[in-house]
Structure 1
Amino acid sequence: MSNAFEPQFTDAPVQEHSSGTNKGCLIGCLVAGGLFVGAILCAGVGIYMLASKAVDTYTSTTPAKLETVEYTEEEMAALKSRVESFREKLNAGETPEEDLELTADDINAWIATDENLKGKFFVEIKDDQVHGDVSLPLDGMPMGEGRYFNGSGTFDVSMEGGVLIVTMQQAEVNGDPVPESVMQGFRSENLANEIYKKPENAEFMRKFEDIRIEDNRFILRVKRDSPEEAPPEEALPAATEDDMQKPPA
């Protein structure tokens, strides 16, 4: 079964699983496609600086030691069941009874189940903003052999007009702030645009009324039809005198 949480990193920043029911575009879209792309874009700043021969300043010979969160088997099974039930109902055209709420621990615990991601990403939610730490090997990059990109970023997450908006507000590379001239560009760019490049992902995202950080949780709120209003009393036929005299059924 496809892992709904699993961000995939290849030559492109994010590669979602593909299927007719769009199994990979739940957390893959909302987190990997948005927040982690932001972290990868931070890495892009680092790579740019590599090209500028600032290897020693903006990279490290050791990875950063990021925290991890590990759930028990029972906790992980409950989390997967909750996410999969939510996704399957959406794909079946049904409306989940409840919104999906995810804590930073939920996301970090899922990351920890993948050895390719464990220790490379860590997410925190503070003051209704997302903070992400990343530590990525740069092997294969020019002048990157044996070196690591260690960065962090703070993101705003919201949904406006049915479109997910993820913007990076602050970032550091190897402990140093990204120059303000670079940050201005990041703040004006929606990092979640990557999600909408695939029509099936865009269609999936239209199922949501709102996606935001609230009470230090990811809140994924689906669209729900308004309950049908009962007809006004004056529209109901008035009881006749004969009706009033009939015995109860």
Structure 2
Amino acid sequence: MDAYDILRSEREEFESEAAEKAFADRISGKPRALISVAGYNPNLPEDDIKKELIDLFSSCGDVTRVIVPKDPDHSPNLDRRALVILFGDGAEEKALQLNGTDVGGWNALVKVESDEEDEEAARYRSSLINELMNDPKFWYGVSVRGYDTNLPVDEVETVLKEVFSDCGEITHVFVDTLDKLTNVYFSLQEGEARALALHGTNVGGFKLDISRVASVLSNRPLGNGEIGLGYTVPAHMIEFANKKDDEIEDKVMAFKKQRRLI
């Protein structure tokens, strides 16, 4: 995996793909450092904590991601450590020199984390991803285009729920404002079939374009987990990618910390 792929996997946002690629080129080949930080006030807004940490470590290298554990009351016996991912020559040494630094009323307690996840934590991460991948809530669904994309997200959701109300139980609706489509999921395959039959339905002067959504069932890999031509990542995995990555990082970090206390 090259630096560009690493950066994309860490879900950083840039003004353009060109800006993202330029940043990736800059960090290409440079060492990666995982720095954990404690001492901050976990009750501050997450964005404020991230800004303080980015400002603190920007002199050590290129900050590609900051992960702040959520729900400070969830694990009261564990120290609350944020994770800062840096790229740059000497980034670890520079970061360690900031241990004890006063950051607007709190002292940064800095440690270097291992870049190797232990086997149990890796299995835990895999199980969480597998749980989402195979969630039956996303087995059957349709992708809808052609509606009035100028409507607010909540109105699009309301309109389409009404259109598909007779198809069966709707388990989830996701309005993608970027790709101008909406994925609607059903609890049963019959719901999906009935929804597909509504292709071409006129809604407020707009003709709906309805197709089967890419799901675990409708879009299976080949045997032995191999990916065949035309395979598409299940739509709900793309939808939850950013959120799930952060959730997984939070849980794995807590899991590893708890193991140290046992």
Q: Same fold by TM (over 0.5)?
A: no
TM range (shorter): under 0.3
TM-score normalized by structure 1? Answer: 0.24
- Relative contact order (alpha carbons < 8 A, sep ≥ 6): 1 or 2 greater? 1
TM-score normalized by structure 2? Answer: 0.23
- Compare CA radii of gyration and give the structure with the larger one: 1
